[in-house]
Amino acid sequence: MNRDPEIGMKEVMLNEGELGKQLISGDNQAAGGEKNGTVKQKGAEDEVTFTGLSKEELMKVAGTPGWVRTRWILLVLFWLGWVGMLAGAIVIIVQAPRCKPIPEMNWWNEGPLYQISDVEAFSEGMSGVEAKLDDINQLKVKGLVLGPLHTVQSDQPNTLDLEAIDPNHGNKKALQDVLEKAHKKGISVLLDLTPNYRGTDPWFSSGDISEVIEKVKAAAEHWFSLGVDGIKISDLAAASSSVDWSKLQAVVQNDTSTKKKALMGVVEGMSAAEVAQLANTTGVDLILSDLLSSKKAGVECIKAMDTLHSQQRSLAWGLGATQLEQLAKQATSLGLIRLYQLLLFTMPGTPVFTYGDEIGLQAGQGSESPKMVWGIEQEPAEGAAVNETTEAERKERVSTRKWFISLSDLRGKERSLLHGDYYPLSSSATSLSFLRLWDQSERYLTAVNWGAAPETFKFTLAPAEGVELPETAKVKLSTDEDLKADTTVSLDKITLGPRQAVLLQFPYTG
């Protein structure tokens, strides 16, 4: 049967098209039974599943000699390792250097005391003191010494009333407000109860001491009941000679409140040995002397510290503080003010300052108290006329205050400065240096030169068990521009410029 050639050609073309589709789609299988262009995947029946050993099989294996020996070996290794670590820990603890026990510290040992002898000159009375407590708190002080505030006429014992506040200073309510706010900030408050503070003799006369002591005792009880944390009296030598002294001491030191009360005494013109004797025999908590007077040579100051350093927790230092005078009255330049601030903060004992010492406030004329200067951080208004002298003085006060705060903060943090041991190094008529250290804490070396010429220090340390100076130290704080903070200096010798001071630091090395 003859077919139409045109129809035959169409069938051939269709067959070729179907073949191409099959090749592309992989319907035809390649050699080996796999389709062209496909990847063979394992089916579920091809997967191998690991089921582990059954319980019966495990029990059979666990009892074999090989597994028993393996388990015993692992158990023995575990306990040997545990016992080894325990023994190592014990050896480390035994061989480690033991920490030195911290001595008993009271609140008056933990930071500087700040005297406000004239509350009107400081900030317009007791209410002004309360308003400035935030500023005072920035100085890191631990105690305020207020007054004297009581009423008395000069050299007239019959007018003495230690339980009444002079109206010119404020009233009891204002004092209680100060106490409440100060305590919230961790600041304790002492009252200066020196009886005849306006007269020639702090205790009027020798014949009046017993009677006046009785009044001071009653006043102490009264003020303690209102929250006062301690009392201060001048001329401790005269007061402690009274047969009634022990009664006053008992009132202060036998107080049953949770916070210990402080009995602070002031002495002037006494030797270090006499001060030490009073500290031992009178039972005062803190004794403030004028042994650091600017009239004393460095050799004398070192000798005083040599005598008294073992009693540092009952010792207070000040420059002008015994007379309630500003530091600037004796330290007559900015360099000297900073020098004595550094010295007071690093000596063994409690530093005592009078208000304004933190900014280098100049002393008043005659017996008049200087007015405290506030707002020194405030910059002049933009575009305002500026007096160059006044602006330079303001910047100096700001800088001095920052220096004071940095020293106060450092003393409160570093154990070597807070209650560390003291070692004299070298001294001359116008200079001194000493070392402070505590156990494994950072060590501090103080060097000051209040003379008018440069001073070269060659530090020599007397033989002491376990104490020696390193070759170098880091400058922690310095007033000398040639000794920049954080630089490393050789301890072979150091030269300080006139009226300059430096505090060096080096680590405990074991």
User: Domain boundaries in the chain?
Assistant: 107-376+388-413, 423-506
8-state DSSP, 482: T
pLDDT at 2: 46
**Contact in structure between 29 and 35 (CB atoms under 8 Å):** yes
- In tens digits, what is the pLDDT along the chain, a chain of 510 residues? 444 544 444 454 445 555 444 544 444 444 444 444 454 555 555 555 666 667 777 777 777 887 788 888 889 999 999 999 998 888 877 776 667 788 889 999 999 999 999 999 999 999 999 999 999 999 999 999 999 999 999 999 999 999 999 999 999 999 999 999 999 999 999 999 999 999 999 999 867 788 999 999 999 999 999 999 999 999 999 999 999 999 999 999 887 778 899 999 999 999 999 999 999 999 999 999 999 987 888 999 999 999 999 999 999 999 999 999 999 999 989 899 999 999 999 999 999 999 999 999 998 777 789 999 999 998 888 878 888 899 999 999 999 999 999 999 999 999 999 999 999 999 999 999 999 999 999 999 999 999 999 999 999 888 877 788 999 999 999 999 999 999 999 999 999 999 999 999 999 987
What distances in angstroms separate CA 48 from CA 43, 51, 78, 264, 449, one per listed residue? 11, 10, 37, 91, 90
Longest CA–CA separation in the chain, Å = 165
pLDDT at 382: 82
**The domain defined by 423-506 carries CATH number 3.40.50.300:** no
Residue with tokens 């935030």: 134
Q: How far apart are CA 270 and CA 381, in angstroms?
A: 51
Q: How far apart are CA 114 and CA 108, in angstroms?
A: 11
Here the tokens at position 416 are 């070597």
pLDDT at 473: 97
User: C-alpha dihedral over 456, 462, 466, 467, to 10 degrees?
Assistant: -20
pLDDT at 24: 45
Q: Is 189 helix (H, G, I), strand (E, B) or coil?
A: strand
Q: Which of 30, 48, 47 is nearest to 39 (CA)?
A: 30
Q: What are the φ and ψ backbone dihedral angles of 159, each rounded to 5 degrees?
A: -95, 0
8-state DSSP, 104: P
pLDDT at 50: 61
Q: What is the DSSP string of 225-261?
A: HTT--EEEES-HHHHHTSTTHHHHHHHHHT--SSSPP
**Contact in structure between 447 and 496 (CB atoms under 8 Å):** yes
Q: What are the φ and ψ backbone dihedral angles of 495, each rounded to 5 degrees?
A: -105, 125
What distances in angstroms separate CA 108 from CA 187, 199, 313, 327, 363, one per listed residue? 10, 29, 9, 20, 26
Residues 96-100: contacts with CB under 8 Å, at least 24 apart: 97/440, 97/510, 99/439, 99/440, 100/438, 100/439
User: C-alpha dihedral over 43, 45, 50, 52, to 10 degrees?
Assistant: 160
pLDDT at 5: 46
Spell out where 356-493 has E strands: 421-428, 431-437, 443-449, 455-457, 472-478, 488-490
Q: Find out whether the peptide bond into 454 is cis, omega within 30 degrees of 0.
A: no
Q: Which of 324, 327, 332, 329 is nearest to 342 (CA)?
A: 327
Q: How far apart are CA 448 and CA 278, in angstroms?
A: 29
CATH of 107-376+388-413, one of 3.30.1380.10, 3.50.50.60, 3.40.50.300, 3.20.20.80: 3.20.20.80
Q: What is the 3-state secondary structure (H, E, C) of 137-183?
A: HCCCCCEEEECCCEEEECCEEEEEEEEEECCCCCCHHHHHHHHHHHH
The residue type at 361: L
Question: Alpha-carbon Rg of the chain, whole angstroms?
Answer: 41
Q: What is the DSSP string of 317-378?
A: E-SSGGGT--GGGTS-SHHHHHHHHHHHHHSSSEEEEETTGGGTPPPPSTTPPPPPP--TTP
Q: Which of 219, 222, 144, 138 is nearest to 178 (CA)?
A: 144
